[in-house]
Amino acid sequence: MMPERPSLQLTDAVIFQKNTRREILREVNLYAYPGDLIYLVGRVGSGKSSLLKTLYGELPLLVGRGQIAGFALHTLPRKRVPYLRRQLGIVFQEASLLDDCTVYQNLEFVLRATNWRDAAAIENRIWHVLALTGMEHKAHAYPDQLSGGERQRAGIARALLNSPQIVLADEPTANLDPDTAREVMELFRGIADEGRTVIISTHNMANVRQYPGRTWLLEGGYVTELEPDALL
């Protein structure tokens, strides 16, 4: 049986601060497989967001090699970045929904922007991701009618629309109360269990312990993988 190919791999990569040549992370050698739930942990300014931005193409990979979802980051031209992002689900700390659109309309907007044309297929896909995230009953609500947890669930539904191989989440529970944060983490755990790679930057070590996965520590300009017992 052939070994499974990594969904993500960085080799001897250097991550630079946006708009500068200042190194934030060096000698980055990482890999991830389908089904992995991975946490990025470290102090503010350690490079978590910059690493995620490199993975979804906002920051170019200028040194080293990288591949994610079948795209070579080190040779990726800017015009190909939108195609890379269609293979990724990106969840931010703030859901950033369109305020004048319902949840359903927010999702429809994304599908039409990514060249979905068949009305029945669009409707079926929207209801599918709403069911996955437990948001069917809020399909016709506007963002200002949603709680913080519901907005984040809508953001996760949006990230799942194009059946991404990899989900990247930047501090997705930072503004949520503990109970809601646990609900969102259970959702991410379920997404990983479906065979997707999920990478979450977080400061919430309680969630890391409660929903075990792999943990990448960013410290002193380097990334190291922690042993599971290091979190006890």
Among residues 60, 56, 57, which one has the least CA distance to residue 14?
60
- Per-residue confidence (pLDDT) for residue 176, from 0 to 100: 86
- Per-residue confidence (pLDDT) for residue 22, from 0 to 100: 87
pTM to 2 decimals? Answer: 0.91
Structure tokens at 30: 């990482």
Contact 150, 138 (CB under 8 A): yes
Strands, DSSP E only, in 57-171? 63-68, 71-72, 88-91, 166-170
| Cα–Cα distances in angstroms (integers) from residue 52 to residues 49, 164, 198, 226, in the given order | 5, 15, 12, 19
Q: What is the pLDDT of residues 36-50, one digit of tens each?
A: 999 999 999 899 999
Q: What is the pLDDT of residues 169-209, one digit of tens each?
A: 999 988 888 888 888 999 999 999 999 999 999 988 888 99
Residue 20's identity, in one-letter code, is T
- Per-residue confidence (pLDDT) for residue 1, from 0 to 100: 44
pLDDT at 230 over 80: no
Phi, psi of 81 (to 5 degrees): -60, -45
- Per-residue confidence (pLDDT) for residue 118, from 0 to 100: 94
- Per-residue confidence (pLDDT) for residue 5, from 0 to 100: 86
**DSSP string for 109-124:** HHHHHTT---HHHHHH
pLDDT at 160 over 70: yes
H or E element in which residue 9 lies: strand 8-16
- Per-residue confidence (pLDDT) for residue 180, from 0 to 100: 87
pLDDT at 227 over 90: no
Q: What is the pLDDT of residues 102-157, one digit of tens each?
A: 999 999 999 999 889 999 999 999 999 999 999 999 999 999 999 989 999 999 99
Q: What is the pLDDT of residues 7-37, one digit of tens each?
A: 999 999 999 988 777 899 999 999 999 999 9
pLDDT at 167 over 50: yes
| Cα–Cα distances in angstroms (integers) from residue 180 to residues 82, 90, 156, 184, 213, in the given order | 31, 19, 14, 6, 20
When pLDDT is averaged across residues 72-85 and rounded to a whole number, the result is 94
Strand duo 37-41 + 214-219: pairing? parallel
